[in-house]
Structure 1
């Protein structure tokens, strides 16, 4: 113990031991053991405390006891709290403890703006999605099982875990209050005095029938065994974490997206967000009486990611898919999917954790991922995006040759085709009222003829009954049955006659249609086309469900039981698809010009679900349209990909100098601050240096990869640093270059910090 120690606990800490109790501790854990567990768990989130403690017991040759896990957990909480306090003091010393500082500086490529850089549309792109892997079981005490409903809510019935009011450090999480104010219960009060703008209440595009997280009546019912049912995450286009919110006792509801968008609008202003239901979500945001005006003022744009986009109908794709939206570039807006594939490993260690420990594990994982994974791979990601854009641009010559072969005069034709396809698909959303009435009138006439035919058959059967026959009394039951059928047939015929009369008045029909007439034949064709289209839509939806179930079944981390469950669902789905194919083929054959029949092998081999939309029959013949031809469609898609490739290069030519400048300015600023602090507080200067070294260790690799990118044929950007915009960071990272270039002084500081570290660690 050191002479300055007044408590046993502080003396143990100075010796590199973390006590398991504040007063008179009998057990302490070495800092090295805690640090090894912390780092190992961040790299392997499945690792829990109990297996690690069992491994320590095996190493020390002692039997495992359950209380050892509890003691280790207490010491680990103290250790993490100590690290968090050190980081807090470092950030406060550096002036980085202001509200939303981390968020405003989360991604250097997205947010570190420079003087004189080019303006780009949608300057900040994010993606968001919900994930239910990190759900947590509710924890109740044993007393709750024996108490009645009246006593279950009393304070004495709560477990110790439920009484833990500690909060995880950091500003990654949106508070529950910030999220719940966008819930339906609070939305009514929020909407008072804000009339809805009807201009932003758009028509339904049909996508909400395909996505269960668009239906609040389904997603609002969560399993009662869970408290937090998952997380709702927002990332930038380089996968840095923006914010995260807990989904509490509910599915993926609109309030989580509203809360995220509101927070990002307040911090960043204009931006675009990718979401698997971006089409419907964008309508909800724009129609919201409070969030809508802010979203329009900041030109917020809700988009659909590339992977999920092909499960939306074609009209939605043309409006919301990134390929057809100006300014998005080649961004696929699907970063959340790859992030969740890694974060799912946390589920096993957080499923039964307390509220605090679950949030603590998630927060530390997010911090570690941003610092050691996402930042480390940033230069590789930028280089890969640039090379992909250059590769696509090499197809410009092929596109020109295709245009000559197809007789396309200029690129404007593709823009016209896109507008024509949008207009055509918009016309398919609703049948004209006149045609709807004609088809309804035709169907009523068909039903009326069938009812009259059935009535004649029943009357003939009644007439054949002979009251004088010897067995008449024995057939009394048959007679009563026939009379009942005759009465019901007459009522059905009369009801249909009334319906036919009403439709004749509405259609102004002077003479009733008869089989063989022109009106009858035209209506029959329209009804057959409607049945065909509905059969096709039904088959489309089943194939979408099958595709995503197969994706989930093959996803890394899916357990054996879940795979078995999905396999059974696929068996049922396969039978449903086969039945839908039979319905489709029957409807296709019934058309005036029969369509080709589909087989099971053809349907399951579809790669792009949007191909189904091209099978639609329309009131307008589109066979001769250029955008309906396979070669024309391929050329049009290639044209828009080239446009997006040009946008991607322009965006990367802005992001790369930002990143290079950030690395230079960050290193200079932290070195200068460490020198300033060293004279007053050497220990704090040591922590500032460690803070700098966390990211500086990757900078040489970044510069090497970016230098290699600059030698790539076609590279048009710059890897030279620029000048940071002073308005972004209040000059916090802008320093005197001459002072910061003093390498001798920097080497002296490094040597002094090394001596300090050795002298403070008795084990060295």
Structure 2
């Protein structure tokens, strides 16, 4: 995209420079800028005060002043960064009246829906009319919109007729609600659809030429429409008693949070996952780079327009709340931390494998972006709990800390999944304030299984979901699938303003919660239950395997796991005396090589040739100088190596110098060979893990063609590097005594997925004959733990399914009750809003029950589909009796 295209795209969501101030008359502005002709006589006679009205005289004066300015200077250098805020303030003063008018309009048109635009009572007193150009889906026309008695503003009068104005006071253009609603629904289902594309499509339908100001007008009207909808929703929540802080968070997921009386407690009652995503960046509009006192280029001043609007809802944590958990002082805390046990170091090997744990990855986005991505938290069923913006950085610890603290304070006990949970859990325990919260609320930081091949085996044995009691079959990788859908927002938010970006994100999150996560909840529960039953069906096969291996009870697999932990713990560090001996051995080998080389150089005779004048003397002298230089260098290297050997001999406690025939020489040589093997294995493992990441990136959704081609070329080159590292490893393995079996390409790919590279390491004990190190034994051990997790999954689902069934019934009765209450109180318009909310929620209920009933007929199903009693008293069990002739289920699916 060229710079010109970027500027045009960036201007789409704001008022262009040529557009008038919010308080200016649109008609006058259109004349001044040439969009409409002035109402002046075609004969060209001079207009005086006797022949024109005061407003026409004012218009002529403004035209004269305007053209005088154009004559004096061709460019207007004034800045108007506050024009967006002026427009926002103008609409904000009228928002309550527009919201009331919108609610009344929806109530008046409830029979026809969006098919009817203009609606006002027949007995209404029309005080005036407003001449407005109406833009609809398939037509655009001038209309005299009536202003009925009681309308405080022209804007509210327009909204009462199903029209949304494009200006705050006297709007000459209005867009129909159904056009805005159609765009909203289409964009939520296809986030790539931009306002510009939709407006151009309307222009094509209307046979009009696209103009930039048309997109601006639609953008202004769409912002107003979304603000009205948000105000209307807030009124409904207040009428239902759901406007308390954190109500949405504590009721985000019916299966997770709608607890019932008499439930059997389970460990880790609430599971959530967090992760960072850098796709939803936003360019930071600034002036050109400046040069500081040191001569370095620094970013220019911000050109962002003033806009104090905040995104609707409570999905976002503020920047101030996040900054309370900044990493100031955390580095000192980390350096001063002394682990209580060896288990504290389990995540150390994973640090360098993760970009979000590297300090140099946190400052790459300075200068181009302000918001560099989002960092959300989701429950295990995909409902969004809370989200924060990553600001000028990558995944810093403060984002996770802020979300963790908020979730603990609101939801109490929980298990949190993070792809670097091994390191993150340690950081939480070391944070003074967060560690106390975590300890008081039984917080657990876990690591998901999707990135298992990138974590070393020792880390997996303690943090992988398969080996964590109470986890069930949950892998805590819901963020990955969520990002695959939300990444589509990037094309419409990359150049948006800060407010429009957050508005788009929160609107999308609310939509996915109500239309995607809730709609697919029963299907997700059913699939999880079927998967658990399928795993439980493998128990007879495991018993056969145990019989063939001579394993008496399944408790043996627990012992195998502990033995593997102990073995891997022994590999983490080399004893100090062994390290010193290997260094001494290597210096002795080097000393022998230098001594041999020095002897060879000393044995070379210099050449003396008498001067003959034909250049032979000069050549002989040059050769002699080269030999003498080599001899001097060899003596210096030998002396330095000898000094190092002598120093090591003193540190080893003295004694005679080792020679190749000594026992110590042979044993240490074997240790050095093993170390060379270990390093070859480390290099091979690192290259294979990098290859796995590249493969996942190539197949990732929304990866552009050029990026895929670039990765493919890099992958091809990387594969050559892997093959070279494989050859080096096999050579090092052959040098061992006894030699190791060489690896093939297929084997190392399998090792990458299983993260079993650690089993190839040569320890101080030979584990190749241990049953837990055999492929069959490892598969049996993993199957045992999967069976344990399957039992836990069924126990958790036996709680979640009755919760969901009870929630559907309680929510339906609760909304019906309040709909009747509001109607009886004479507030039919607000009652209709409650009906709309009930319709959106209950349209999936029949589908949910159909899926659950079908699941209940499968063998092994032990959950209950009977309605329980909720612990929360927010939804009391109401007996709703509709008035005669009132159909409460009209338009509700599954009535």
With the length of structure 1 as denominator, give the TM-score of the two structures: 0.92
Flag the 1:366–1:331 CA change in 2: closer, same or farther, 3 A: same
Q: Higher mean Cα deviation, 526-535 or 358-367? A: 526-535
**Cα offset, 1:655, TM superposition:** 0.9
**Cα offset, 1:147, TM superposition:** 7.5
**Cα offset, 1:617, TM superposition:** 2.0
Partner in structure 1 of residue 787 of structure 2: 642
Partner in structure 1 of residue 652 of structure 2: 507
The secondary structure found in structure 2 opposite 1:618 is coil
Q: Is 1:273 equivalent to 2:434 in the alignment?
A: no
The secondary structure found in structure 2 opposite 1:199 is coil
Work out the CA distance in 2 between the residues paired with 1:550 and 1:22.
Answer: 52
Partner in structure 2 of residue 716 of structure 1: 862
**Cα offset, 1:475, TM superposition:** 3.1
Contact 1:532 1:588 in 2 (8 A): yes
Q: What's the CA shift string for 1:423-450, capped at 9, x where partnerless?
A: 0001111112121111111111111111
Task: State the Cα RMSD in Å.
Answer: 2.5
Flag the 1:20–1:735 CA change in 2: closer, same or farther, 3 A: same
The secondary structure found in structure 1 opposite 2:445 is strand
Flag the 1:197–1:677 CA change in 2: closer, same or farther, 3 A: farther
**Cα offset, 1:186, TM superposition:** 7.2
Contact 1:205 1:429 in 2 (8 A): no
Contact 2:608 2:620 in 1 (8 A): no
The secondary structure found in structure 1 opposite 2:217 is helix
Matches within 5 A, 1:259-338: 259-338=402-481
Partner in structure 2 of residue 761 of structure 1: none
Q: What's the CA shift string for 1:615-650, capped at 9, x where partnerless?
A: 222221112211011111111111000000000000
Work out the CA distance in 1 between the residues paired with 2:391 and 2:551.
Answer: 55
The secondary structure found in structure 1 opposite 2:402 is helix
Partner in structure 2 of residue 133 of structure 1: 279
Partner in structure 1 of residue 757 of structure 2: 612
Partner in structure 1 of residue 340 of structure 2: 199
Flag the 1:371–1:431 CA change in 2: closer, same or farther, 3 A: same
**Cα offset, 1:355, TM superposition:** 0.6
Q: Is 1:65 equivalent to 2:207 in the alignment?
A: no
The secondary structure found in structure 2 opposite 1:598 is coil
Contact 2:568 2:758 in 1 (8 A): no
Work out the CA distance in 2 between the residues paired with 1:50 and 1:106.
Answer: 34
Contact 1:439 1:526 in 2 (8 A): yes
Matches within 5 A, 1:46-61: 46-61=192-207
**Cα offset, 1:149, TM superposition:** 6.6
Matches within 5 A, 1:663-682: 663-680=808-825, 681-682=827-828
Structure 1 gaps, min length 5: 755-764
Q: Which has the larger radius of gyration?
A: 2
Work out the CA distance in 2 between the residues paired with 1:110 and 1:745.
Answer: 35
Flag the 1:499–1:746 CA change in 2: closer, same or farther, 3 A: farther
The secondary structure found in structure 2 opposite 1:307 is coil
The secondary structure found in structure 2 opposite 1:596 is coil
Flag the 1:444–1:187 CA change in 2: closer, same or farther, 3 A: closer
Work out the CA distance in 1 between the residues paired with 2:157 and 2:265.
Answer: 57
Work out the CA distance in 2 between the residues paired with 1:195 and 1:603.
Answer: 38
Instruction: Return the match for 2:397 from 225, 229, 254.
Output: 254
Work out the CA distance in 2 between the residues paired with 1:295 and 1:222.
Answer: 32
Contact 2:374 2:388 in 1 (8 A): yes
Q: Is 1:24 equivalent to 2:170 in the alignment?
A: yes
Matches within 5 A, 1:180-195: 180-185=323-328
Contact 2:373 2:389 in 1 (8 A): yes
Flag the 1:305–1:676 CA change in 2: closer, same or farther, 3 A: same
Partner in structure 2 of residue 757 of structure 1: none
Partner in structure 1 of residue 34 of structure 2: none
Q: Is 1:658 equivalent to 2:806 in the alignment?
A: no
Contact 2:280 2:372 in 1 (8 A): yes
**Cα offset, 1:466, TM superposition:** 4.3
Flag the 1:157–1:303 CA change in 2: closer, same or farther, 3 A: closer
Work out the CA distance in 2 between the residues paired with 1:288 and 1:62.
Answer: 61
The secondary structure found in structure 2 opposite 1:116 is coil
Q: Is 1:689 equivalent to 2:835 in the alignment?
A: yes
More helix by proportion, 1 or 2? 1
Matches within 5 A, 1:542-621: 542-600=687-745, 602-604=747-749, 608-621=753-766
**Cα offset, 1:467, TM superposition:** 8.1
Contact 1:235 1:336 in 2 (8 A): yes
The secondary structure found in structure 2 opposite 1:414 is helix
Q: What's the CA shift string for 1:681-702, capped at 9, x where partnerless?
A: 1111111111122111111111
Q: Is 1:449 equivalent to 2:592 in the alignment?
A: yes
Contact 2:272 2:379 in 1 (8 A): yes
Flag the 1:653–1:601 CA change in 2: closer, same or farther, 3 A: closer
Q: What's the CA shift string for 1:294-344, capped at 9, x where partnerless?
A: 212222211111111222111111110000000000001111111011111
Matches within 5 A, 1:383-394: 383-394=526-537
**Cα offset, 1:665, TM superposition:** 1.2
Partner in structure 1 of residue 220 of structure 2: 74
Instruction: Return the match for 1:402 from 545, 561, 565.
Output: 545
| Larger RCO of the pair (alpha carbons < 8 Å, separation 6+) | 1
Flag the 1:621–1:602 CA change in 2: closer, same or farther, 3 A: closer
Contact 2:452 2:753 in 1 (8 A): no
**Cα offset, 1:188, TM superposition:** 8.2
The secondary structure found in structure 1 opposite 2:432 is coil
Contact 1:305 1:321 in 2 (8 A): yes
Matches within 5 A, 1:146-185: 158-159=302-303, 161-185=304-328
Q: Higher mean Cα deviation, 559-568 or 18-27? A: 559-568
Work out the CA distance in 2 between the residues paired with 1:589 and 1:157.
Answer: 62
Flag the 1:295–1:479 CA change in 2: closer, same or farther, 3 A: farther
Q: Higher mean Cα deviation, 354-363 or 289-298? A: 289-298
**Cα offset, 1:600, TM superposition:** 4.3
Partner in structure 1 of residue 555 of structure 2: 412
Partner in structure 2 of residue 748 of structure 1: 886
Matches within 5 A, 1:323-362: 323-362=466-505
**Cα offset, 1:573, TM superposition:** 1.4
Q: What's the CA shift string for 1:201-257, capped at 9, x where partnerless?
A: 932531112112111233333252122111111110001001111111111121111
Instruction: Return the match for 2:874 from 717, 732, 745.
Output: 732
Q: Higher mean Cα deviation, 56-65 or 494-503? A: 494-503
Instruction: Return the match for 1:209 from 337, 341, 352.
Output: 352
The secondary structure found in structure 2 opposite 1:306 is coil
The secondary structure found in structure 2 opposite 1:172 is coil
The secondary structure found in structure 2 opposite 1:62 is coil
Work out the CA distance in 1 between the residues paired with 2:493 and 2:814.
Answer: 38
**Cα offset, 1:158, TM superposition:** 4.7
Contact 2:816 2:888 in 1 (8 A): no
Contact 2:203 2:209 in 1 (8 A): yes
Partner in structure 1 of residue 248 of structure 2: 102
**Cα offset, 1:11, TM superposition:** 1.7
Q: Higher mean Cα deviation, 250-259 or 471-480? A: 471-480
Contact 1:311 1:609 in 2 (8 A): no
**Cα offset, 1:602, TM superposition:** 4.9
Contact 2:453 2:752 in 1 (8 A): no
Structure 2 gaps, min length 5: 1-145
Instruction: Return the match for 2:637 from 484, 492, 511.
Output: 492
Contact 1:675 1:749 in 2 (8 A): no
**Cα offset, 1:78, TM superposition:** 0.2
Matches within 5 A, 1:453-468: 453-461=596-604, 463-466=605-608
**Cα offset, 1:198, TM superposition:** 5.1
Work out the CA distance in 1 between the residues paired with 2:848 and 2:635.
Answer: 85
Contact 1:195 1:289 in 2 (8 A): no
The secondary structure found in structure 1 opposite 2:276 is strand
Work out the CA distance in 1 between the residues paired with 2:154 and 2:437.
Answer: 56
